[in-house]
Every structure is written in structure tokens, then in C-alpha cells.
Amino acid sequence: MSKTYKHIFFDLDHTLWDFDTNSKLALQQIYETEKLVSRNIPSFENFHHRYKMINDRYWARYHNSHVTKEQLRVGRFFDALAEFGVRDQFLAERMAQSYIEISPRMTALFTNAVDVLVYLDEKYPLHLITNGFAEVQWLKLEHSGLKPFFEHIIISEEVGTQKPDRKIFEIAMERAQTQPSECVMIGDNMNTDIAGARAAGIDQIFFNPNRKHTRDKATHQIFELKELMQLL
């Protein structure tokens, strides 16, 4: 890489913190605790498949301000249960609360995440820009041991704007006392992380562990986090 950066910005979910693994572990624990097999939900895999699709739809609606935080939290569970003929608001609320308590305390990270952060932390100030609910994201950072690596942590709910809005990147740069030409953003989402950073004038590194084909382009692309140790 010919360009020298002075500040590194990271995404959290799906980039450092292994959201899919942690979420699945939490949901499986809830499935077993609530004995959902006795509610005509034949297997965890069936429930998990339905929940993931519904959860994605709720997050899309939340990002577009079509549902509230509370509607997202409970509605995704109510609708997932309803797919199996279980319409139980109290159960949905209980599962939603359990998920918020259990999931962010899970600690699975992407391979080499800590080694890469240790390496980069010796060379650059590191910062985090993440969409999500503040109390949940702080728990993830605390329990996973990631928090000490970052000088500034910008969480969308706390600053009132979310990626890909360029404003959240501008807030991050203002806090880090830097400018776009000195920064690079590392993330897994071509829209929120890559297009958002580009709109703010920041170079981007697209983390693509599943080697998804995309028409859009980032400044750089990596398939494993350890590639950052050669790139930066």
C-alpha cells in the first residue's frame, strides 16, 4: 500500500465480533431454556432459519425508521414464533429480553482479530464506528476484550446517526482530530461501511470472508483479517 494512513477505523459486527456465531449460540440457549420443541417448533435449525430472515427484515425497517427499537426487539421474536403457529406475546418478550442479556456477552471473534489489533495498535490510533443499540454494543466490547484497543468508540444510537450517513464518519474524524485523507475504514458491509466511508472521503478496506461477489469496489479488499498485517 503506497498511501500512509494515520488513523484506522473499524466496524464491529461481522468484522471483529463474530455476530453470526454469537447470535446463534445465544438463540440456541434460549430455544432450549424455553423448551420450544414442546411448542411445536420441531428443531432449533428450523427456528433459527426463520428468525434470521425475519430479523433481517426488521433491521431494514429500523434503519428506514419504520419500526422503533422496542418493536424490533420483540417483534422479530413474535413473528418468528408465529411462523410455527405460536402467538404468545409474553413468550416473545421473555425471549427478547433473554437475547439482549445473553448475546452481547458471547465472545467469539473472527480468526486473528486480537493478533491484528495488537499489531495495528502499535502503529496507529484505532477507532470504532458501529451501528446498533448502545448498551448492547458496549457489552460486546467489554466481554470480548476489544474495548481497550480503541481510542474512540462511536455508536450510532449515541450520536443520533448511523452508517452509511457520512455524518457519523465526520463525527468520528472530529473526535479523532483527523481528516479524510489520513483515514481508512475497515468493514464487511459494502453499503454501510464502504459506500458510507467513500461518501465521507475516506479510503476503505472491504472485509469479505465469504468471498461474496459485488459489483461495487472498495479501495482494497481482504478475505482474512491477518491480511491487514501486510496491508497496513
CATH of the domain at 159: 3.40.50.1000
Which conformational region is residue 142 in: left (phi greater than 0), alpha (psi within -120 to 50 degrees), or beta? alpha
Model pLDDT for residues 132-165, shown as the tens digit of each residue: 999 999 999 999 999 999 999 999 999 999 999 9
Cβ contact 200:219 at 8 Å: no
Residues of the chain above pLDDT 70, percent: 99
Q: What is the mean pLDDT of the chain?
A: 96
**Could you tell me if 67 and 122 lie in one domain?**
no
Residue 42: count other Cβ atoms within 10 Å of its Cβ.
10
* Stronger pLDDT, 230 or 215, i.e. the higher one: 230
Cβ contact 173:185 at 8 Å: no
**Could you tell me if 62 and 132 lie in one domain?**
no
Residue where one domain finishes, among candidates 77, 105, 133: 105
Rounded Cα gap, residues 19 and 177, in angstroms: 30
Residue 203 in this model has a pLDDT that exceeds 80: yes
Residue 150: count other Cβ atoms within 10 Å of its Cβ.
20
Q: Are strands 126-130 and 152-155 parallel, antiparallel or unpaired?
A: parallel
54 SS3 class? helix
CATH of the domain at 101: 1.10.150.240
Q: Which three cell numbers stand for residue 177?
A: 482530530
**Could you tell me if 80 and 127 lie in one domain?**
no
pLDDT at 64: 84
**Could you tell me if 72 and 153 lie in one domain?**
no
pLDDT at 75: 98
Residue 214 — pLDDT band, cuts 50, 70, 90?
confident
Model pLDDT for residues 94-132, shown as the tens digit of each residue: 999 999 999 999 999 999 999 999 999 999 999 999 999
**Domain range enclosing 122:** 7-17+109-231
Residue 4 — pLDDT band, cuts 50, 70, 90?
confident
Cβ contact 102:32 at 8 Å: no
- The pLDDT of 60-77, averaged and rounded, is 93
Rounded Cα gap, residues 12 and 196, in angstroms: 15
Rounded Cα gap, residues 79 and 59, in angstroms: 14
Model pLDDT for residues 23-63, shown as the tens digit of each residue: 999 999 999 999 999 999 999 999 999 999 999 999 999 98
Estimate to the nearest angstrom the gap between the alpha carbon of 108 and the chain centroid.
13
Residue 3 — pLDDT band, cuts 50, 70, 90?
confident
Residue 1: inside a domain, yes or no?
no
How many domains, in total, are found in the chain?
2
pLDDT at 1: 57
pLDDT at 216: 86
Indicate whether this model's pTM tops 0.85: yes
Length of the chain: 232
Residues of the chain above pLDDT 90, percent: 94
